[in-house]
C-alpha cells in the first residue's frame, strides 16, 4: 500500500508550492488514476514517493515504511516508471537488467531466466541484445517497465507510462496493469490519456495547484452531476414518474423519462420499477466523460 500523508513540496524557484497537504492512499489490488493539468503536482508526488526527491513536509509510506527514514526497505517494495526514462544509451537491455539486479541483491544465475521472461512480457523479445539508445520512446517505456518489475515489487508508480506508446503498446500496457492489479499490486497511474484512466482506474484522484481536489470512486461517475438516466417503460404512468423523482429530477423527453444526477445506480432503478409492475424497455446512463468532469471540477475550484 502507498500512503501519502500531508505531503508538501516547495521549490526555491517557484513562489507557489508544487504540493500542499497532499493526502492519498493506494490500496493493495487497486489502481488509482492521478489526473491534473501540467504543473498540478502529479510528478512531484511520484518523484517523492520514488525516493528521488525530498518532501518539504509530510511523508510517503510504502507498505508502512517511510520513503525518507527507511528508504532502503521502502524502495525494495516499490517499482517506478518515470515519464522520461533515462538509461545508459550504450547499454544492452539484457546486460543492463542483469546489472540492475545487483542493486536488489538478486543472484545473476537465478535471475537470468526471470529477466528474459520480463523482456518477453513487455514485448522486447528479440531485442534484448540491442543498445537501449537505439530504442524508440515506446520501447524505452517498455524497458523501464521491465526494470521496475525486476525485484517483483507490490507497489508501482507509473508516471505517464502510456505516453509515447502506439495503440498496440497501450493495449499491451493496459492488459499488464490489470494483470498486476489482479496479483494484489497497488498501482498509482498518472496519465493525460483520460479515456485510459477512466477505463483502468478503480478510483480517480484529481489534483489541482498541488492539492487533492477530489478522490472519486469510478462507480460514482454514474452519479456525478450532469449524469442522466434515460428510462423507457411499456406503459408510462404517474406511479413510475413519482418513483423516478425520488431518484433525481425527472422530465418526460420524447418517449422516455430522463433522470438527472440519479442518486442510485441503474440496476436498482430497474429492480424497483419491475417490483412496481412496470416493464422496462430501455434503461441506460448518459454521462459526461472524464475529461468534461475534470474541467468542470477545475472551473468550480477557481
Per residue in 4-60, pLDDT (tens digit) is 999 999 999 888 899 999 999 999 999 999 999 888 999 999 999 999 999 999 999
Residue 276, C-beta contacts closer than 8 angstroms, at least 6 positions apart: 239, 240, 243
Reply yes or no on whether the pLDDT at 247 is more than 70. Answer: yes
User: Region 239-243: what's the mean pLDDT?
Assistant: 90
CATH fold of the domain at 2-219: Rossmann fold (3.40.50)
CATH fold of the domain at 228-286: Alpha-Beta Plaits (3.30.70)
Between residues 102 and 176, the one the model is more confident about: 176
User: Region 266-273: what's the mean pLDDT?
Assistant: 89
User: Region 141-160: what's the mean pLDDT?
Assistant: 93
Structure confidence at residue 6 (pLDDT): 95
What angle do the packed helices 93-101 and 137-148 form, to 10 degrees? Answer: 30
Cell of 228: 442522466
2-219 and 228-286, same CATH topology: no
User: Region 166-190: what's the mean pLDDT?
Assistant: 92
Cell of 159: 508516471
Structure confidence at residue 225 (pLDDT): 65
Structure confidence at residue 121 (pLDDT): 86
Between residues 264 and 22, the one the model is more confident about: 22
Instruction: Return the domain boundaries, the chain.
Output: 2-219, 228-286
Between residues 289 and 204, the one the model is more confident about: 204
- Rounded to two decimals, the pTM is 0.80
Residue 14 CB-half CA count within 13 A: 11
Between residues 137 and 77, the one the model is more confident about: 77
Instruction: Report how far residue 188's alpha carbon sits from residue 219's, in angstroms, rounded to the nearest whole number.
Output: 18
Express each pLDDT in 61-98 by its tens digit. Answer: 999 999 999 999 999 999 999 988 889 999 999 999 98
Q: In what order do the strands lie in the sheet with 186-190?
A: 78-81, 155-159, 186-190, 30-35, 203-208, 211-217
Express each pLDDT in 217-231 by its tens digit. Answer: 877 776 666 688 889
User: Region 205-212: what's the mean pLDDT?
Assistant: 93
Structure confidence at residue 302 (pLDDT): 67
User: Region 252-271: what's the mean pLDDT?
Assistant: 87
Neighbours of 28 (CB within 10 A): 15
What angle do the packed helices 167-182 and 137-148 form, to 10 degrees? Answer: 10
90 neighbors 52 (Cβ within 8 angstroms): no
Between residues 216 and 288, the one the model is more confident about: 216
257 neighbors 240 (Cβ within 8 angstroms): yes
What angle do the packed helices 108-121 and 137-148 form, to 10 degrees? Answer: 140
User: Region 182-190: what's the mean pLDDT?
Assistant: 96
Reply yes or no on whether the pLDDT at 109 is more than 70. Answer: no
Query: Mean pLDDT, the chain, as a whole number?
Result: 89
Amino acid at each position: 500500500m502507498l500512503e501519502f500523508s500531508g505531503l508538501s513540496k516547495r521549490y526555491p524557484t517557484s513562489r507557489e508550492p508544487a504540493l500542499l497537504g497532499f493526502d492519498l492512499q493506494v490500496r493493495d489490488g487497486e489502481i488509482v488514476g492521478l489526473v491534473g493539468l501540467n504543473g498540478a503536482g502529479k510528478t512531484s508526488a511520484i518523484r517523492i514517493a520514488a525516493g528521488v526527491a525530498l518532501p518539504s513536509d509530510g511523508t510517503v509510506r510504502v507498505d508502512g515504511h517511510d520513503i525518507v527514514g527507511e528508504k532502503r526497505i521502502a524502495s525494495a517494495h516499490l517499482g517506478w516508471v518515470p515519464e522520461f526514462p533515462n538509461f545508459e544509451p550504450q547499454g544492452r537491455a539484457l546486460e543492463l537488467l542483469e546489472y540492475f539486479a545487483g542493486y536488489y541483491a538478486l543472484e545473476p544465475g537465478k535471475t537470468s531466466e526471470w529477466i528474459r521472461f520480463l523482456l518477453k512480457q513487455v514485448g522486447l523479445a528479440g531485442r534484448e541484445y540491442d543498445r537501449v539508445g537505439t530504442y524508440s520512446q515506446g520501447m524505452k517505456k517498455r524497458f523501464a517497465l521491465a526494470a521496475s518489475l525486476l525485484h517483483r515489487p507490490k507497489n508501482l508508480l507509473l508516471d505517464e507510462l502510456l505516453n509515447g506508446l502506439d495503440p498496440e503498446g497501450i493495449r499491451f500496457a493496459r492488459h499488464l496493469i490489470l494483470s498486476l492489479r489482479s496479483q494484489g499490486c497497488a498501482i498509482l497511474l498518472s496519465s493525460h490519456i483520460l479515456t485510459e484512466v477512466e477505463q483502468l482506474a478503480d478510483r480517480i484522484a484529481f489534483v489541482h495547484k498541488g492539492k487533492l481536489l477530489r478522490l472519486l470512486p469510478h462507480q460514482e461517475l454514474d452519479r456525478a452531476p450532469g449524469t442522466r438516466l434515460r428510462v423507457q417503460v411499456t406503459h408510462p404512468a404517474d406511479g413510475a414518474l413519482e418513483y423516478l423523482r425520488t431518484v433525481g429530477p425527472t422530465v418526460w423527453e420524447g418517449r422516455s423519462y430522463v433522470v438527472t444526477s440519479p442518486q442510485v445506480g441503474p440496476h436498482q432503478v430497474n429492480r424497483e420499477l419491475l417490483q412496481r409492475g412496470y416493464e422496462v424497455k430501455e434503461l441506460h446512463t448518459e454521462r459526461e466523460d472524464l475529461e468534461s468532469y475534470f474541467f468542470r471540477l477545475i472551473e468550480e475550484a477557481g
